[in-house]
A and B are shown apart, each in its own frame.
Chain A
Amino acid sequence: MNKRALFSLWTTLAVALAACGGATPAAPTQTSGDATTPQKGGALIVAYKDDLATLDPAIGYDWTNWPTIKLVFDGLLDYDTGTTLMPRLAEALPTVNADGTVYTFKLRPGVKFSNGREFTADDVVYTITRVLDPKTGSPGAGFFVGIKGAQALIDGTATAVEGIKALDANTVEFTLDAPDVTFLNKMALNFAFIVPKEEVEKAGENFGHAPVGTGPFVLKEWKSGEFLTFERNPNYFYEGLPYLDKITIQVGVAPDVALLRLEKGEIQMMGDPPPGADWARLTADPAWKDRIEKQPQVNTTYIAINTTMPPFDNVKVRQALNHAIDKQRIVQLLNGRATVANQILPPLMPGYDASYSGYEYNPDQAKALLTEAGFPDGFETSIECIAVDPQPKLCESFQQDLAKIGIKLNIFTLAAPNVIDDAGNGKTPLVWSGGLAWTQDYPDPDDFYSPILGCDSNVAGGWNWARYCNEALHQTSKELLTMTDRAARLEAYKPLFKALMDDAVWVPVINGEYDVAHSEKLHGQPTLIHPEHLFIYETMWMSP
């Protein structure tokens, strides 16, 4: 190829790259394991413990569904390998008007649904309207009520949402009631993954089992309760992706058995972390060194304290609890697969205060605080835990910790729905959130305040298990949602969360870690686990 042709080739590429508006996933960076380049082809088999509910992006909402839904669908926005937003079905990040209430997206041309039809702005309007429509019963409706006219649709006084407009075939405009800096994060949620109207109407309530989207894979077969198979979408708009030809997801497999299948070579990845009982063996075995990927989760597991129930309405008692819990022991009981948490936000969440040290483990200090609060001889109280291993074992550790400072803790192990109901209705003084821990919806500190500690969520049936409402903090949080200077805003969250910790609304105990055991042939690009999507299947590849 002569120099001139080479030059024009490079310029074309450069222009194309610029038009894409960001880093394309095809560029290799560090990989897990060896640094060879991704290869196309290969079939992946993953085994999960829980069954998959649905592939309907408006409805599917748990850690098993989310990464799988991303196989078949795309949203306007997505995240890069970390927490930075990137355009996906949109051509570029949207333009925002001066006061932050109007977002205009230009859509990527030439994207096709797997039924052949080209994707247009009308699809975006349809998708978000569908999420808001009460008849869909979408759990995510609450994220989009800030759009102008959304409430009217929900109340039934309108048939369309005023604030979502298709300006032309490739442009969509969103108008909000008030500025919301987290709006783009919400547009990157699964709920905003684009669905084609004609397929939804054709399939009706079966759309979740016969999904049609723009994603890297297409659903080929679903044997309910057993497995799902996906095959590569040959017309996928991202060049070069996905790498894998086929993905089979087995469901309902107990992790103990999934590990055996992995060891035997029948599957290449476990969807759930390996059981604690096998952890010591795996980590001691050199053959497994490159076969376990560890990623901290953006979550905090905590003891929620019902701040309205005596004696926990006394801040000193709550602080005593914080000093009394031996968090290192919990980490040990979890085979080291967690880190001690000293504040509400997890370390990976923007706005985390690395300089904050929290309450250190000090039973004597705890006892002193109890005496100050008027309980020199302690008292009797109770905690609820879900009955799934290892949660009861952790609650038993708390029991021993509190016994040391004179508090008799009764443990009630219940089924998860019972715990959620009791905690949501303020019926129990303490709740251990293990197994139900709050994990981020999107990487914004507000996600760790409004839904679980804000005044709006302090209602019966809400997830504000601390039953906490501080009007001053609530006002502050509302103002922070309108700040456009990202850096200043993140700094401003630090005093808010410090105030919450001073008020000791929780005992934050650990930040979780997600461990994935996989075959040595499976690689991620750069990793298998993604902080937002849990698994990022489209960049996984198999070496021969």
Chain B
Amino acid sequence: MDITQLDPQRQKVAGLSPQAAPTQPTPGEVGYFALTWRRLRRDRAAMFGAALVVLISLAALFAPLLAPHDPTEQFRDGLTPEGQPVPGALWTGNGGRFPLGTDANGRDLLSRIIYGARVSLLVGVLANLLAVTLGTLIGSVAAYFGDPLETLLMRFTDVMMAFPTLLLAMTLVAILKPSMWIIILVIGAVYWTWIARVVYGQVLALRDRDFITATRALGAGRLHILVRHILPQLIPTIIVWGTLGIATNVMLEASLSYLGIGVQPPTPSWGGMIQQGQSFYRSAPWLVLFPGLAIMLTVFAFNLLGDGLRDALDPTQRGRS
């Protein structure tokens, strides 16, 4: 047995996991989550992020109360006589019924953005959650448990990554009624492969580290090691993918809706509004700007929260050097 395994200070020097240091409670021990929560509460940025997430969710929930108009109503005066969208009160400075302007059908943009949060939040967050969960599971199990499971799972991941998604979407429309849950499933079922690959690479690097061998030698079971020692190392990766992935999934939802699965018109979704508004980059840039800002804000909120979570879960990562 190597002396580095006994000396916590030397462990860090050798690049071993600081979490093997016995001074902090480890996952599974009493007090871990309480300590994490306390640390999170003290992180102002994270709390701001959390508040933002709650706010956006509430806005989505109480959309009928907040939205100035019906998001699906196409107004007579929502279009110029030539059929162009009307700029909003905030854009032109003069008043008007439409604070952020109208879209190509003459519908109020602000109302659509507020209602759009419902679809986009649900799809963006849930599909991403599914993808990250599935991907982390498959990637870490493949890397840690080795062959034959490793080859089986990773080749399966290859097949799923090369899968012709568009073709699948076009075939599914004949069988399924389009709905938000179908699209969450489809996106999650397609997107997990990328995360699986990244996690696989990281766990592969971790599995042969000395501290793992040591813990094994001490009699710990493989599953225990995977959950208690390896998974926490993946938290930073999970956070990055879990937050940035929301934006990707919102856009993915829009492109798949256009093929018939997922939300159909006139249900608003941020990705869909962006897609419809792209041609107006010169004549009505607000059509893409405002939904885009909504997406940015959401990802920003989750990002702050995520960073805070990751700091709180691993106290030595504070990094204030």
Contacts and interface: CB of A to CB of B under 8 A. Distances in A.
- Whether chain A touches chain B in the assembled complex (some CB pair under 8 Å): yes
Interface of A: 256, 275-281, 283, 329, 332-336, 387, 389-390, 392-393, 395-397, 399-400, 410-415, 417-418
Contacts of B178: 412
B82 A387 contact: no
Contacts of A332: 79, 81-83
A390 B275 CA distance: 12
A332 B283 CA distance: 17
A315 B79 CA distance: 34
Nearest to B85: A277
Contact of B82 (A335, A412, A415): A335
Nearest to A283: B82
Contacts of A329: 74
Contacts of A333: 79, 83, 104-105
A411 B264 CA distance: 6
B105 A277 contact: no
B282 interface: yes
B105 A397 contact: yes
B73 interface: yes
A86 B46 CA distance: 78
A386 to B, nearest CB: 10
B279 interface: yes
21 contacts: A256-B279, A277-B280, A278-B282, A278-B283, A279-B83, A280-B82, A280-B83, A281-B283, A283-B82, A336-B82, A389-B279, A393-B105, A395-B265, A396-B74, A411-B264, A412-B264, A413-B257, A413-B260, A414-B259, A415-B170, A418-B170
A418 B80 CA distance: 34
Given A400-B74, A418-B173, A277 B283 contact: yes
Contact of A413 (B82, B258, B282): B258
Given A283-B82, A336-B82, A395-B265, A414 B283 contact: no
B283 A413 contact: no
A418 B174 CA distance: 9
Given A390-B104, A396-B105, A415-B259, 8 more contacts: A280-B82, A281-B282, A281-B283, A392-B258, A396-B265, A414-B260, A415-B170, A418-B173
Give 10 closest A-B pairs by Cβ, nearest first: A277-B279, A387-B258, A414-B260, A335-B83, A277-B280, A280-B82, A280-B84, A332-B83, A275-B279, A411-B265
A276 B260 contact: no
B284 A277 contact: yes
A525 to B, nearest CB: 31
Interface string B241-268: 0000000000000000111100011100
Interface string B100-123: 000011000000000000000000
A418 B169 CA distance: 11
Contacts of B72: 396, 400
Contact of A279 (B82, B105, B170, B257): B82
Contact of A410 (B79, B104, B264): B264
B9 interface: no
Contacts of A387: 258-260
Interface string B68-106: 000011100001111110000000000000000000110
A414 B281 CA distance: 25
Chain A binding site: helix, strand, loop or mixed by DSSP? helix
A329 B74 CA distance: 10
A330 B276 CA distance: 17
A332 to B, nearest CB: 5
Nearest to B84: A280
Contact of A414 (B82, B105, B173, B279): B173
Nearest to A332: B83
Nearest to B82: A280
Contacts of A393: 104-105, 276
A413 B81 contact: no
B282 A277 contact: yes
A414 B261 CA distance: 8
Interface in B270-297: 276, 279-284
Contact of A276 (B73, B264, B265, B279): B279
B83 A276 contact: yes
B105 A415 contact: no
Contact of B265 (A256, A281, A335, A392): A392
Contacts of A334: 83
A256 B288 CA distance: 16
A335 B284 CA distance: 14
Contacts of A389: 276, 279
A397 B279 contact: no
Contacts of A392: 258, 265, 276
A411 B262 CA distance: 12
Nearest to B277: A277
Contacts of B82: 279-280, 283, 332, 335-336
A461 to B, nearest CB: 15
Nearest to A403: B72
A541 B212 CA distance: 79
B80 A280 contact: yes
Nearest to A256: B279
A397 B265 CA distance: 11
A395 B266 CA distance: 9
Contacts of B105: 333, 393, 396-397
B175 to A, nearest CB: 12
Contacts of A415: 170, 259-260
Interface string B157-186: 000000000000010011000100000000
A385 B128 CA distance: 29
B92 to A, nearest CB: 16
Nearest to B104: A393
Given A393-B105, A396-B74, A413 B265 contact: yes
A275 B284 CA distance: 13
Contacts of B170: 414-415, 417-418
Contacts of B276: 389, 392-393
Given A411-B264, A413-B265, A415-B170, A336 B83 contact: yes
Contacts of B266: 396, 399, 411
A400 B265 contact: no
Contacts of A395: 265
Which of B81, B83, B260, B280 has the most CB atoms of chain A within a 10 A radius of its CB? B83
A283 B284 CA distance: 16
Which of A277, A332, A389, A411 has the most CB atoms of chain B within a 10 A radius of its CB? A277
Contacts of B81: 332
B55 to A, nearest CB: 30
Nearest to B283: A277
B258 A400 contact: no
Nearest to A385: B265
A393 B72 CA distance: 12
Contacts of A417: 170
Interface in B185-207: none
Contact of A397 (B74, B80, B282): B74
A326 B73 CA distance: 15
Nearest to B174: A418
A348 B204 CA distance: 71
A481 B257 CA distance: 45
A418 B264 contact: no
Contacts of A399: 265-266
Nearest to A337: B83
